[in-house]
């Protein structure tokens, strides 16, 4: 047997995993708050796609961390409220993240072949991203606000 490194195959320290989960969730909140503000004002397609990719990455990170054996019981023990159910709260968080992502995937304009309609070529050879009005984004804003409220 070899000495365990920080990138080895031996299960990580549960304290470290718990911290990484909390950091990832904090990043979700920190990324969602300015996105909600941009939705309220109207934003462009690039902002929406970038946020969706951010959520996909955070969901994958959280799933990997949540799969570490013993993390649920460890995390529950870290909460000093016996009525608080960490597994239920984690599942509600993931459901809120998925609700946002599902709305984006379902409602983002698509063309033939399911390709995203997000930009046109500008006269200078750059891209002009499709703009969305606040009214169009209101249902998404509601979901993003619900996601933010799910994070303490």
Q: Which helix (H) or strand (E) holds 121?
A: strand 119-121
Determine the Cα–Cα distance for residues 149 and 151; give it in Å rounded to an integer. 5
Token digits of residue 147: 């996601």
Residue 4: pLDDT band with limits 50, 70, 90: low
CB–CB of 121/127 below 8 Å? yes
Per-domain residue ranges of the chain: 14-149
pLDDT one-digit tens code per residue, 101-147: 999 999 999 999 999 999 999 999 999 999 999 999 999 999 999 99
Question: How far is Cα 131 from Cα 149, in angstroms, rounded to an integer?
Answer: 26
* Digit-coded pLDDT (tens) for 35-94: 999 999 999 999 999 999 999 999 999 999 999 999 999 999 999 888 999 999 999 999
Q: How far apart are CA 32 and CA 84, in angstroms?
A: 24
């Amino acid at each position: 047997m070899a000495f365990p490194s920080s990138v080895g195959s031996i299960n990580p320290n549960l304290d470290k995993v718990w911290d990484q989960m909390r950091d990832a969730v904090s990043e979700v909140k920190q990324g969602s708050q300015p996105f909600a503000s941009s939705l309220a004002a109207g934003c462009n397609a690039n902002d929406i796609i970038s946020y969706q990719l951010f959520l996909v990455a955070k969901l994958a990170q959280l799933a990997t961390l949540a799969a570490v054996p013993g993390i649920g019981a460890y995390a529950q023990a870290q909460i000093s409220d016996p009525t608080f159910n960490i597994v239920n709260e984690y599942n509600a968080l993931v459901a809120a993240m998925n609700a946002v992502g599902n709305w984006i995937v379902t409602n983002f304009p698509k063309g033939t072949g399911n390709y995203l309609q997000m930009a046109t070529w500008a006269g200078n050879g750059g891209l002009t991203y499709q703009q969305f009005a606040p009214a169009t984004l209101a249902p998404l804003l509601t979901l993003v606000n619900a996601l933010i409220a799910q994070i303490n």
